[in-house]
Amino acid sequence: MISYTSRGLWPTRRGLSMKMVNVSKLKKVVAPYCWVLPAIAVLIGIMGYSWARGFLISLTDWRPMVRPIARYIGLKNYSDLFSDPLFRHSLLVSCVFTVGSVSAQMVLGFIGALLLHKLRFLKGAARTAALIPMMLAPAVAGLIWKLFMDMDFGILNYFLTTLGLPELGWIADKNLVLPSIIMVDVWQWTPFVILLLLAGLESLPEDPYEAAQLDGATRPQLFWHITVPLLRPLIVIVLLFRVTFSFRAFDTILLLARGGGPGNNALTISMYLYERAYVPFRLGMTAAVSYVILGVTLIMGIVILVLTRGGRESA
């Protein structure tokens, strides 16, 4: 607030200095946003144009190899999708794959992070070894595991026969193809969960644990009532990342079960997009499937946030 002299409405030095301080504070707050505003505007413009253009394409029957000029057909691509039993099957397969893969990754990732956090010797070497699968490109991981799971020359069946167990079809068996792909996805992306949760564990304060131990808390109580609540925001972030990327998984599945695998039991929604829309070069249908994937992913993310927020409030 500016103070004035008794002679008139002229502000005093104190009032002017306070006003200058307020202006300088405002500049410090606003200036960083002004610097990044052009980049944000360009990014929003590019993404907004891409999304709008993609949605407009999804409303056409554009097939450049057959009909160079796109024809507006409204929501017919979407109605054709949801009336296709194979598309509904691919949605179900994707949901099963996502739930199975992410559940295993979260459990194994938490266990691995706790073990590495408590490790006393060779901690650096163990962490590096644990992260190796994540460093591989999904295509490379798919090729490696395709050789491992080969019925005639695969190393997995070699170990089974060595132990006196029957050989398995793995990706050639319609009952095992989806669990086999889930196993590969868990192998490759559990290190991602370990990496983030381990960083969270090492940043936790020691005071709550010391106070709880003085009160006689056991290790399970420390874990469920201190570790998990403190890591809840990080767990939600990891869960969102893994659900989003698992639902859209493509590279590894393409190499392990091209065409959807035996009986289409590994036909995820990304594989459906590739085999039924992209390969025939039906760009309108391809865009429609892409927006369905985006919508389902957004719904899954909102559900996760709502459920975790409810659990936090009840806690």
Give tens-digit pLDDT for 162-208. 999 999 989 999 999 999 999 999 999 999 999 999 999 999 998 98
Q: Which of 50, 66, 89 is the last residue of a domain?
A: 50
User: Does 170 share its domain with 28?
Assistant: no
User: Is the residue at 69 inside a domain?
Assistant: no
Report the CATH number that the domain containing residue 97 is assigned in CATH. Answer: 1.10.3720.10
* Residue in 150, 159, 142, 121 with CA at minimum distance from that of residue 256: 142
State whether 94 and 29 are in the same domain: no
Rg (CA), the chain: 28
Alpha-carbon span 158 to 149, nearest angstrom: 10
Q: How many domains does the chain have?
A: 2
Rounded to two decimals, the pTM is 0.85
Residues 138 and 280 in one domain: yes
- Specify whether 166 is located in the same domain as 45: no
Question: Confidence class of residue 229 from pLDDT cuts 50, 70 and 90?
Answer: very high
Q: Classify residue 153: in a domain, yes or no.
A: yes
Chain centroid, CA 35 distance in Å:
30
Q: Which residue has the higher pLDDT, 136 or 3?
A: 136
- 14 and 89 share one domain: no
Lowest mean pLDDT among 81-85, 177-181, 207-211, 294-298: 207-211
Asked, for residue 169, whether it belongs to a domain, the answer is yes
**CB burial class (10 A; 0-12, 13-18, 19+) of residue 60?**
buried
Residues 32 and 90 in one domain: no
12-25: average pLDDT = 59
The confidence band for 11, taking pLDDT boundaries of 50, 70 and 90, is low
DSSP character for 72? B
- Is residue 150 domain-resident? yes
5 and 84 in a single domain? The answer is no
Q: Tell whether the model's pLDDT for residue 14 goes beyond 60.
A: no
What is the rounded average pLDDT for all residues in the chain? 87
Domain holding 295, by residue range, is 80-314
- Same domain, yes or no, for 21 and 100? no
Does 18 share its domain with 103?
A: no
Query: Are both 113 and 243 inside the same structural domain?
Result: yes
Considering the domain architecture, whether residues 151 and 281 belong to the same structural domain is answered as: yes
In this structure, the answer to whether residues 35 and 84 fall within a common structural domain is no
267 in any annotated domain: yes
Q: pLDDT band for position 119 (50/70/90)?
A: confident
Find out whether 169 and 263 touch, Cβ atoms under 8 Å: no
Q: What angle in degrees, to the nearest 10, is found between the helix axes of 177-202 and 138-148?
A: 130
Is 70 part of a structural domain of the chain?
A: no
CA angle 240, 195, 36 (to 5 degrees): 60
pLDDT computed for residue 4 by the predictor: 47
Task: Answer yes or no: is 72 within a domain.
Answer: no
Packing angle of the helix pair 177-202, 85-118 (nearest 10 deg)? 40
Residue 55 lies in a domain: no
Is the model's pLDDT at 48 over the cut of 60? Answer: yes
